[in-house]
Amino acid sequence: MDAQPEALVAQALPRGPYSIAPEIVAADQRRRLLAAAPLVVARYGLEATTVEQIVKVARVRRNSFYEQFEDKRDCIASAYEIGQERLLGAITFQCYSRTGLSERIAGALSAALELLAADPAMARLLLLEAPVAG
């Protein structure tokens, strides 16, 4: 059962004086930033998106953003790569798990469309925003 992208951003570690290892906190912040980037790009467009908007949606401090990424393009490119890997994985699995060519094509298309429909913000980043930006 896949959670909605907005829910993935909202699932943060508990706040307070807990003894959580710094690398776990950093990994959680990175996950939330990468989940937030496509949402912000879908809302404002690639060029208008700002680091401030991404950190606000991710609920991460600005300096933590810059510990993870060089700039907004680095963050968005990382989110894009993850989205492409997920899409390629879904398509590839269907191609290897089916026997006939028509079954492979139908399975790959179906898997790709299901994945994109489940995450409209990522779909927009992969299919509209990033290709236009080059």
Residue 118 DSSP symbol: H
Per residue of the chain (134 residues), what is the pLDDT tens digit? 344 556 556 566 666 666 788 899 999 999 999 999 999 999 999 999 999 999 999 999 999 999 999 999 999 999 999 999 999 999 999 999 989 999 999 999 999 999 999 999 999 999 999 888 76
This prediction's pTM: 0.83
pLDDT, tens digit, for every residue of 13-29? Answer: 666 666 788 899 999 99
Cα–Cα distance for residue pair 114/51, rounded to 1 Å: 30
Which two structure tokens, joined as six digits, stand for 62? Answer: 């600005």
Q: Are 75 and 65 in contact (CB under 8 A)?
A: yes
HSE toward the beta carbon, residue 134, CA cutoff 13 A: 0
Cα–Cα distance for residue pair 57/111, rounded to 1 Å: 28
Which two structure tokens, joined as six digits, stand for 17? Answer: 């004086």
